[in-house]
Structure 1
Amino acid sequence: MHRRQISSLAHTLHPIAAPLSDASVRTLLDRAIPHGAARLLDLGCGSGTWLLRAQAGRPGLRADGVDNDADAIAAARASADEAGIGDRIAFHAQDAAEFRSPHGYDLVLSIGASHAFGGLLPTLKAAESHLVPGGTVLVGDGFWEREPDRRTLDCGFTADEYDDLATTVDRVVSEGWVPLYGHVSTLQEWDDYEWSWTGSLSRWALDHPDHPDRVQALDAAAEHRAAWLHGYRGTLGFVTLLLGREPRP
């Protein structure tokens, strides 16, 4: 079982691939999306959940989603077609860092996909290249709620992988971005995300007792659960920022 297959199964019950509740997602989209006709881009869109939800009640939206997971893009296209909005969203199976479009975008999203660009600030630089004047960015990334201890670092993190929340925002502001809104994921949102992640994978394994990958699925769920509960729970945070841009001189 490939890593992407594991991730796809793990997000069955929590299709937003980040520690955000449905209510938080709605609030962020309501704050971020301009009224009337607008064009959106999601860099690292996965199965397209953010763009599909953005379309609800907004017939004037047109959107593009980009991800290098061809299976996720196929699933996104199928979901959009099933919802009857396939003509309003175009999905592209390619590296988000290499995506180019003839259009500018009023809003660029990139939630939990900074690894594709090499970090938060490079993600914002990539997003900016797609914005129309006055456009905004909705970006979600990790930060340290508290200094990571050895148990957290043993989960595969490095101490300099993230900053604390204040430093994270300061670094963004120093690059000319203006915070317009923000949401810090709660511990409850984190717990719901992690229980859903590990539980979905475990449920699949129990429901497929004869599948050759069931043991691998159970092991992946157990490893992830241990890393969360014994390692980064309460230490790794997640912030989603809506950002405007200071005009460049």
Structure 2
Amino acid sequence: MDLPRSFVIREGDLRILNPIDAPKLATLGRAVKLRPGSSLLDLCSGKGELLCTWARDHGVVGTGVDLSTAFTAAARERAAELGVADQVRFVHADAAAYVCDEPVDVAACVGATWIGGGVPGTLEILERSLRPGGMLLVGEPYWRIDPPDQETVEGCHATTREDFHDLPGLVRLFQDEGWDLVEMVLADQDSWDRYAAAHWLNLRRWLDTNPDDELAPQLRRELTEDPLRHVRHRREHLGWGVFALLRR
């Protein structure tokens, strides 16, 4: 049980595996008013930057769950680096099936609502581990601009327009599922650029040193196609944000 090796290559030495930078991640931690001792569950925790930096900056405790052995190992290293290994732990497991032994104050899934087949299913998964009155954090794309054609839809890693909502539609979806939106931190175009372009550099450096690897043709094709896809489609049309929710 693991993510494909291409994920590890693409993310390289990135610590945040979403189009949100360290200042915005810190802003989110302050905005939701984390308190020392608050308990967090982070599903699809990646390399653990959310949990580790919030443990350092706000004194929270918690668990991160991810399918990638490489990302889980990197998260544990980051916890040790920041001196918070006694506050957080990272588990290699299927996030979709994970439930905490004790309900948590905050349950997060930032940028991986595929674990629940979309936003509604992911909200249900997160709520299994949430204490009454606790907060959910959900990271999700949305249409900044309505895509004009199917090429743009597919250029934004979607199959149909209905795969994503526009921002008002996403807020309505949260409300229809019984949640109040109480905070949000949105990526901007620079956030997308930094995240996307970091992938290109990671891919190029890997290709330069691994030209005969079995993955080289696939990743060479990705490096050729993705920059144009980003500037033509994703950068203009696709937004992304983290949304804080309280059960109505």
**Which TM-score applies when normalising by structure 2?**
0.89
Say whether 1:44 aligns with 2:62.
no
CA contact (8 A) 1:67 1:73 kept: yes
Are 1:13 and 1:196, in contact at CA under 8 Å, matched by a contact in 2?
A: no
Counterpart in the other structure of 1:172: 174
User: CA offset at residue 25 of structure 1?
Assistant: 0.6
Judged with a 3 Å threshold, the aligned counterparts in structure 2 of structure 1 residues 47 and 179 are, in CA distance, closer, same or farther, namely: same
Of 79-88 and 161-170, more deviation after overlay is shown by 79-88
Superposition pairs for residues 69-218 of structure 1, below 5 Å?
A: 69-148=68-147, 149-155=149-155, 156-157=157-158, 158-206=160-208, 208=209, 212=213, 213-218=215-220
CA distance in 1, matches of 2:71, 2:33: 24
| Consecutive unaligned residues in structure 2, runs of 5 or more | none
Residue 58 in structure 1 maps to residue 54 in structure 2? no
Superimposed CA distance per residue, residues 165-197 of structure 1 (whole angstroms, 9 cap, x where no aligned partner): 101101101222111111221111111211112
Q: Secondary structure at the match of 2:236?
A: coil
C-alpha displacement of 1:79? 2.5
Deviation at 1:153, TM superposition (A): 2.6
2 CA distance for matches of 1:4 and 1:228?
22
3-state DSSP of counterpart to 2:233: helix
- 1:80: Cα distance to partner? 1.9
Gap change, CA 1:154 and 1:133, over 3 Å in 2: closer
8 A Cα contact 1:32 1:138, kept in partner: no
- Alignment partner of 2:34: what SS? coil
Contact 2:3 2:68 in 1 (8 A): no
CA distance in 2 between counterparts of 1:134 and 1:58 reads 20
- CA-atom RMSD in angstroms: 2.1
- TM-score under structure 1 length normalisation: 0.89
Work out which of the residue numbers 225, 228, 231 in structure 2 matches 1:226. Answer: 228
Tell me the matched-pair count.
Answer: 243
Which shifted more, 217-226 or 174-183? Answer: 217-226
